[in-house]
Amino acid sequence: MADASHVPRQTINSKTALPSKALFFHGLEDNEVPGLSRQHDHARRQKHTAVTYSFNTMDLSKIFIALFVFQVLFPCHKAAPENSNVFREYIGAEFNNVRFTDVPINSNVEFHFILSFAIDYDTSGSPSPTNGKFNVFWDSDNLSPSQVSSIKSRYSNVKLALSLGGDSVGDGYHAYFDPSSVDSWVSNAVSSLTDIIQEYNLDGIDIDYEHFHADPDTFAECIGRLIKTLKNNGVISFASIAPFDDDDVQSHYKALWKSYGNLIDYVNFQFYAYDKGTTVSQFLNYFNTQSSSYDGGKVLVSFISDGSGGLTPEDGFFTACSRLKSQNKLHGIFVWSADDSKGNGFRYEKQSQALLAISH
């Protein structure tokens, strides 16, 4: 059979018989068939519309699928944070009788006390892990539920959190994150922490585990599910993490950030864990590095009251803070700790809050 594409085109007029249907549709232009051109044109447009609709629908489906896959592979946690007036202070770990009322509070900042620590260990002389059943290990005689209520009623800008873990428990024992299983740890932690948080009328939690008997993925799942459940239950309104620049520590907290970073409101990065004698330029480089590690997070800057590490207030800490503020990157300041600052009259707490209170 001859290929229809090679059949010579015929011009049809009123004196010429119409060619077969096959030849008509294969070789004729619309204007060559009087009386049929409008029907053909209408049919062609219908076909074109249908093909276009089918194509657009398929295109949109592919776009939506591609966007979904992209979001799963590259989750966007948060928009870039800006300057903030958040000031945070750890308190109660060293049992030197410091009280909330000892600490100066500037009414123009958002002030967070962080009680240190609640730990899932027993309170025996030789403490052992309790798989998510937390006990109070801060100076509860001076930082009691009634004192929490009193400071919150006195200052409307004050919120309180408790910190989980810390470096040690008892007389020099490392406080390990040591779950028996994810489900059992989360169940115990939700129950025991809900009791403590409600008894003390607290607002949030801070995660400060520094030693681990579990892999990063287990840590991420336990802590992530804990934060999610406490938030969903209305028990807490904010959560923070407190990593520092150590390979093992960072591997655990980065795994948590990757899976649950959208639930974490503040990153209390321990910049004072860097070497004593850190310079302003080094500090700013460290800040940029950790801001990239916890991309989209509110990474707070920090100093340690006893001056034992990092960039100290005497050596340029507030210079670095001012530079970050001018770049819209000062997301807040935290201090370790009120217990040590009590000896110097909280001089640098006052200076920190004064800087944060300045509108930019």
Catalytic positions, written as ranges? 210
Instruction: Count CB-CB contacts under 10 A for residue 41.
Output: 12
From CA 100, how far away is CA 145, in angstroms rounded?
Answer: 12
Residue 290, φ and ψ in degrees, nearest 5 = -75, -30
Which among 171, 189, 169, 170 is positioned nearest to 179, based on CA atoms?
A: 189
From CA 188, how far away is CA 52, in angstroms rounded?
Answer: 58
Which among 268, 192, 269, 205 is positioned nearest to 238, based on CA atoms?
A: 205
Sign of CA dihedral 30, 34, 38, 39: negative
Instruction: Count CB-CB contacts under 10 A for residue 198.
Output: 11
Sign of CA dihedral 11, 14, 17, 19: positive
Note the residue count of the chain: 360
What is the three-class DSSP state of 264? coil
